[in-house]
Amino acid sequence: MPHDMAGVSLRDMANAIRALSMDAVQKANSGHPGMPMGMADVAAVLFSKFLRVDPTKPDWPNRDRFVLSNGHGSMLLYSVMHLLGFPEMTIEEIENFRQLDSRTAGHPEYGHAAGIEATTGPLGQGITMSVGMALAERMLAARFGDDLVDHYTYVFCGDGCLMEGISHEAIDLAGHLKLNKLIYFFDDNHISIDGDTKLSTSIDQKERFEAHGWNVFEVDGHDPDAIEKVIVEARKSDKPAFVACRTIIGYGAPNLQGTDKVHGSALGKDEVAATRKNIGWTSEPFVIPEPITAAWHKAAEKGREAREAWEKTCEAAPNKAAFEAQYATTLPENLADLMAKARADIVTEKPKVATRKASEMALEVINGASDLTIGGSADLTPSNNTKTKGLEDIKPGEYAGRYVRYGIREHGMAAVMNGIALHGGFVPYGGTFMCFTDYARGAIRLSALMGIRVVYVMTHDSIGLGEDGPTHQPIEHLAIHRATPNLLLFRPADAVETNEAWEIAMGETKRPSVMALSRQGVPTVRSGSVSENQTRKGAYLLKDPGAVRDLTILSTGTEVEIAVEAARQLEEKGLKVAVVSMPCWELFEEQDAAYRKSVLGSAPRIAIEAAARLGWDRWIGEDGRFIGMTTFGASAPAPEVYEKFGITADAVVEAAGEMLRQ
Amino acid sequence: MPHDMAGVSLRDMANAIRALSMDAVQKANSGHPGMPMGMADVAAVLFSKFLRVDPTKPDWPNRDRFVLSNGHGSMLLYSVMHLLGFPEMTIEEIENFRQLDSRTAGHPEYGHAAGIEATTGPLGQGITMSVGMALAERMLAARFGDDLVDHYTYVFCGDGCLMEGISHEAIDLAGHLKLNKLIYFFDDNHISIDGDTKLSTSIDQKERFEAHGWNVFEVDGHDPDAIEKVIVEARKSDKPAFVACRTIIGYGAPNLQGTDKVHGSALGKDEVAATRKNIGWTSEPFVIPEPITAAWHKAAEKGREAREAWEKTCEAAPNKAAFEAQYATTLPENLADLMAKARADIVTEKPKVATRKASEMALEVINGASDLTIGGSADLTPSNNTKTKGLEDIKPGEYAGRYVRYGIREHGMAAVMNGIALHGGFVPYGGTFMCFTDYARGAIRLSALMGIRVVYVMTHDSIGLGEDGPTHQPIEHLAIHRATPNLLLFRPADAVETNEAWEIAMGETKRPSVMALSRQGVPTVRSGSVSENQTRKGAYLLKDPGAVRDLTILSTGTEVEIAVEAARQLEEKGLKVAVVSMPCWELFEEQDAAYRKSVLGSAPRIAIEAAARLGWDRWIGEDGRFIGMTTFGASAPAPEVYEKFGITADAVVEAAGEMLRQ
């Protein structure tokens, strides 16, 4: 065993990970010791010999990215961060593993400590976000040169990540795009929770990755010399690199290693003691021998030097300011003016367009004003209207473009966008049909949980898509997004609101937005001054009858047109009717009670939305009516589908009649 | 070109598919002609030479299953069904393609016509359901012998299906289980909606499938002889078979074939005319020349003969009655008694158990009483408590067991369960963590849309899972399922309600159920008589204060215990408090208004549920209070997480004080 630094071997450095991990899990009596102990040797080599991170400046733009995709092995990451000296990752945090308000959550949580590059735990997300990071790195390099941007993205993953379907989407896209600075380390330990992986898979991972355009390497995951050699090779790969590390899960625990018993439970007092003896670890729990700490700090020191050298390069670079603005994703100052001007044009011209088309109109303004945005679609470009003029495709080996052909990979697209946003430098947006947010749910949830700016362009947002039928007609999807914390769902009624929604989404740096956009055309319902962004209030009186109100009709999106028509008919009968457009419930909830009350009023309320009722009772009250969907949709031209399900102005008028007679 | 029947060539038969497809899409001015025209030759050979279906008895148990996974090519299926003579698939239906209330929806809809084996359209679902069908076939054969059960499962799929992540889960599991009577025909046309597939993928599908344990075949998809030969070979495969059919999308349309223009739009009048000329099709739209119809009917005749021969075999089989009961999934008559008896035992013993454990207790009764159930888990068997005593694993080549090791493949598991249920003969249930229903959403939605009996055993259903933290703590997931039409979400409060939920789920043949089950223990809150299944009413007065009520506390699942404790504290203060347990909102909504009113009462209401608020306003009214989650969760021991988010009896008591003071 080689002793690299002050007589400390890489195995000693790895054993520090093992000890911290098993002791933290033991103290919490909760967690997963098997993976950190099994991958400790690989981690020790990777972090001490290759990984360029600097604990004194963890957010250095050109640092290598490290993603622990098998997030249940979080103690590996926390151990390494502590050993390297990340200031937030104190020994107290390690001791408080999985305890309330600690930085050391059960799974790595982005934002808990600088150095945690992504939230992982739901399997397969990390390996896919890393594709986005590696792509962002190449896209930045294409713009600013390899002097400023030139780092690797390293990923640990396990059987779970590679069994999940999203892994296919990730590796197919990464292989296609030839992201050769992306390196996966596969913890090939043959064990999952249920037992031997042979219970459920017979795959040849090496052949699989080769088929997807990766270079494949194999190594004994407990042989530091071999690990070092293989990383040297993997870094030279002309394709993304897959390094299968043959490991023993829970390596070091003499009686339990190699079994599913070490996967997800504490080793137990006796086995912890036996492991100490077995690996020759004499320190008390949470105490690291000084020479080992020194060796790890020395590794960190190399990161600091690399960072300082890079900063010098950056200082001297002529495009420094541009790079910094790009990396910080600073929006152009005139964007608000440009958006308002576009709104003014819409109000003048009053186009009848689908809101997906209105979204394209808004994107023309945004993409023209700024090159921060990276567009894309999961193979529905002509339907999602996501590719504006002049946006060139990103291609294998050519990363100067601004449009990603994500392929028919909704989940992969969402997770890759998360990775792009996490990396820094870009604001990603991507399109598919609203119904297929189902496929992307796992990654959309992570956008919200991590609190990052990703914009989902979800067109064909209701039964209004017509002939494609129930499989393609969203019913529950608005509710799904409304129920998700820290996520904005916009369902704009016309081209003005669509513009406003985009303006808000671009400015929301700490939460993702989902745009629910129509296939079918809608008239411009807004009029008058559009200098103020009304959508920012979430809901507003589109039609205000003044002091006296007999009825309030609440609606969103394409049904606002119906609400307006119903109001017109009811007014002909002499009623005073308010129409409320509610493009974003979440923003409306954030308004003060007085504003909310002024909008909702105290008159009887009817809501109309071509979707499930769930959630509407909050706005219509106990005596209110809801006109919407109670079943799945139907395949037919859109007007007939609306008629079939009774989502019509007539239905509103009838309901109003019943309510007001009572 | 060979002329097989009465001078009609296979190409003629294929051209009938082409003509019907292009004419139907043209008439609807909506739909996807490219795939049916491209795969028409493969379909003509497969259906006329191999596929055993009988239009006169479309639900014959031992028929071959055919799944059109690239469901947008629905006109291929409808054309073939019409040509074979399926009675429901009249020429009028073909003419009404994509029109209201026709059987010929935009995408194939299960239940619209006998012969449509599955709802497809969301890509990748069909190829995965077919794995379930092929597995069900082998499982039935293991029980009743190859004389009674011995059919193939044939699947058409396109690039989209194979790009979707779920395809990885499907083919990995099928390869592992050696389902050698499953045959995929890949429409290898190099075109997707955005254009050439080279825009987004560089995969080697053949190498990929080989890595997953499949045998791979290639064929010119426009050469009937070669197609016939390759099918003969594929049927002999000792592994699942992947047949890559090199085709030209829109084959026959002289100016547009081979381009993305024929993928998803009508050809247009001129190109339809040009195609007629090009393929020598002289008939008017929707008219099939008699000799071609005769050739197709002759193919159907072979199916009828095969069915009749099978029926004779079946008549003579000693296990005929058992087979028929199994295939019809007839539950044992004494199941209700056994479940009620188990409930009586629970009420006597009053165990404090997690509802996931209670689910295992219910499953012990069900699985002991009937061998219709097929259990499984996405690699969380010890956590989901899905494997009851005596359930043996299903293994590669050994299909007598009743437990599927689905691997870390939630989406695959759900879609495979859909396939098992569609095939007939079994009631599938499968487990994962509630949070990871996110990954399975696409297939859960299809369970609901198709209206089939699949039971999702979703444990760790709230922040109560504790240390694993926000990525594993469901917040919006109860709302997601409640918003989904035709799906029952059960969140039982104790072992009695869990038993009741299972009893209901087993009897619901036309809709799926999701069980939201706890990690943490809960006391038995029910007492008294349990002969009547209270959960059947969806919600009921767990604690009824009688005629006078000061307050009603509504709750579900693990929070019912908190509601009961809060009620106790409030009663000490002299208040009359009702506690309502609401294990299934959907069933409660189906009760009459009088019952609902009797449960909800007219006193102020507080709801407590460790989840998102969305939907609760329906039950608490405008002045009600909701105690639950407004953000994502946190990693810590469960009691501390509850305390942190204020989901406590104290919070209920405090809210009650505020409400009643007003």
Q: How many residues does chain B have?
A: 662
Residues in A 32-71 with any Cβ partner in B closer than 8 A: 71
**Which residue bears the tokens 């092995």?**
A73
Using alpha carbons only, give the angle A626, A630, A636 rounded to the nearest 5 degrees: 110
Whether residue A470 and residue B208 make contact (CB cut-off 8 A), yes or no, is: no
pLDDT in tens, A236-251: 999 999 999 999 999 9
> Do residues A350 and A344 make contact, with C-beta atoms less than 8 angstroms apart?
no
pLDDT for residue B3 is more than 80? no
B190 to chain A, any CB pair closer than 8 A? The answer is: no
pLDDT in tens, A192-225: 999 999 999 999 999 999 999 999 999 999 999 9
Rounded-to-integer distance, Cα A34 and Cα A22, Å: 8
Encoded tokens for B478:
């109860």
B297 to chain A, any CB pair closer than 8 A? The answer is: no
Nearest to A614 among B176, B379, B614 (CB): B614
Which of B476, B477, B478, B642 to probe by mutation at the A interface, max A CB count within 10 Å? B476
Rounded-to-integer distance, Cα B132 and Cα B140, Å: 12
The confidence score (pLDDT) of residue B145 equals: 97
> Do residues B559 and B608 make contact, with C-beta atoms less than 8 angstroms apart?
yes
Contacts with B654 (C-beta within 8 Å, 6 or more apart), sequence order: none
Active-site annotation holder among B169, B410, B500, B561: B410
pLDDT in tens, A495-528: 999 999 999 999 999 999 999 999 999 999 999 9
The confidence score (pLDDT) of residue B257 equals: 97
pLDDT in tens, A409-429: 999 999 999 999 999 999 999
Nearest to A479 among B101, B201, B479 (CB): B479
> Do residues B241 and B217 make contact, with C-beta atoms less than 8 angstroms apart?
yes
Q: How far is CA B210 from CA A162, A204, B138, B189, in A?
A: 17, 9, 22, 20
How high is the mean pLDDT of chain B? 97
- The whole-angstrom distance between B334's CA and the closest CA on chain A is 33
Nearest residue on chain B to A613, judged by CA atoms? B483
Q: Report residue A661's pLDDT band, with 50, 70 and 90 as the boundaries.
A: confident
Greater pLDDT, A1 or B268: B268
The confidence score (pLDDT) of residue B662 equals: 61
Which of A210, A215, A476 to probe by mutation at the B interface, max B CB count within 10 Å? A476
Q: Can you list the pairs that B277-280 forms with residues at least 24 positions away whose Cβ atoms lie under 8 Å?
A: B278/B252, B278/B253, B278/B254, B279/B15, B279/B18, B279/B19, B279/B252, B280/B15
A634 to chain B, any CB pair closer than 8 A? The answer is: yes
Q: How far is CA A239 from CA A177, A212, A245, in A?
A: 9, 10, 18
What type of residue is B489? L
**DSSP-derived 3-state class of residue B58:** coil
* Closest-CA residue to A96 (of B550, B383, B634, B463): B634
| Percentage of chain B modeled with pLDDT above 90 | 98
> Do residues A30 and A266 make contact, with C-beta atoms less than 8 angstroms apart?
yes
Distance of CA B451 to the CA centre of its chain: 8
Q: How far is CA A70 from CA A9, A99, A127, A200, in A?
A: 26, 20, 9, 18
* Closest-CA residue to B223 (of B358, B40, B444): B40
Nearest to A640 among B100, B107, B641 (CB): B100
Contacts with A353 (C-beta within 8 Å, 6 or more apart), sequence order: A361, A495, A521, A522
Whether residue B621 and residue A618 make contact (CB cut-off 8 A), yes or no, is: no
Ordered alpha helix ranges (H), A403-516: 410-423, 437-450, 477-483, 495-507
DSSP character string of A151-188:
--EEEEE-HHHHHSHHHHHHHHHHHHHT-TTEEEEEEE
Encoded tokens for A347:
């109000």
Q: At what angle do helices A74-84 and A10-28 cross, to 10 degrees?
A: 120
| Percentage of chain A modeled with pLDDT above 70 | 99
Nearest residue on chain B to A393, judged by CA atoms? B199
Is residue A410 flagged as an active site residue? Answer: yes
Rounded-to-integer distance, Cα B588 and Cα B116, Å: 33
Whether residue A409 and residue B168 make contact (CB cut-off 8 A), yes or no, is: no
Nearest to A617 among B210, B471, B618 (CB): B618
- The whole-angstrom distance between B422's CA and the closest CA on chain A is 17
A211 to chain B, any CB pair closer than 8 A? The answer is: yes
A210 contacts on B by Cβ (under 8 Å)? 204, 207, 211
> Do residues A79 and A68 make contact, with C-beta atoms less than 8 angstroms apart?
no
**DSSP-derived 3-state class of residue A308:** helix
pLDDT for residue B602 is more than 60? yes
> Sign of dihedral through CA atoms A307, A312, A313, A314?
positive
The confidence score (pLDDT) of residue B626 equals: 98
Contacts with A469 (C-beta within 8 Å, 6 or more apart), sequence order: A633, A634, A635, B98, B105, B106, B107, B109, B121
Encoded tokens for A330:
């600073």
The confidence score (pLDDT) of residue A257 equals: 97
Whether residue B485 and residue A436 make contact (CB cut-off 8 A), yes or no, is: no
Q: How many residues does chain A have?
A: 662
Check residue B107 and report its DSSP letter: S
Active-site annotation holder among A93, A137, A164, A410: A410
B588 to chain A, any CB pair closer than 8 A? The answer is: no
pLDDT in tens, B413-423: 999 999 999 99
Ordered alpha helix ranges (H), B317-436: 320-327, 335-349, 355-369, 381-384, 410-423
Q: Report residue B6's pLDDT band, with 50, 70 and 90 as the boundaries.
A: low
A513-516 and A540-543 beta bridge pairing: unpaired
How many A×B Cβ pairs under 8 Å? 368
Nearest to B631 among A202, A485, A630 (CB): A485
Greater pLDDT, B7 or A105: A105
pLDDT for residue A120 is more than 70? yes
B29 to chain A, any CB pair closer than 8 A? The answer is: no
B208 contacts on A by Cβ (under 8 Å)? 208, 211-212
The confidence score (pLDDT) of residue A7 equals: 86
pLDDT for residue A3 is more than 60? no
pLDDT in tens, B157-211: 999 999 999 999 999 999 999 999 999 999 999 999 999 999 999 999 999 999 9
Encoded tokens for A604:
């009887």
Rounded-to-integer distance, Cα A394 and Cα A103, Å: 37
**Which residue bears the tokens 């008028």?**
A653
- The whole-angstrom distance between B314's CA and the closest CA on chain A is 34
Rounded-to-integer distance, Cα B104 and Cα B562, Å: 51
- The whole-angstrom distance between A312's CA and the closest CA on chain B is 38
Encoded tokens for B636:
């810590």
Using alpha carbons only, give the angle B293, B48, B115 rounded to the nearest 5 degrees: 80
Check residue A654 and report its DSSP letter: H
pLDDT in tens, A582-623: 999 999 999 999 999 999 999 999 999 999 999 999 999 999
A590 contacts on B by Cβ (under 8 Å)? none
Nearest to A406 among B105, B166, B200 (CB): B200
Nearest residue on chain A to B194, judged by CA atoms? A379
Contacts with B324 (C-beta within 8 Å, 6 or more apart), sequence order: none
Rounded-to-integer distance, Cα B58 and Cα B276, Å: 32
Rounded-to-integer distance, Cα A469 and Cα B105, Å: 6
Phi, psi of B52 (to 5 degrees): -100, 90
Nearest residue on chain B to A411, judged by CA atoms? B165
How high is the mean pLDDT of chain A? 97
In the predicted model, what is the mean pLDDT of residues A73-79?
98
**Which residues are bridge partners to A220 per DSSP?**
A246
CB atoms within 10 A of CB B195: 18
> Do residues B409 and B451 make contact, with C-beta atoms less than 8 angstroms apart?
no
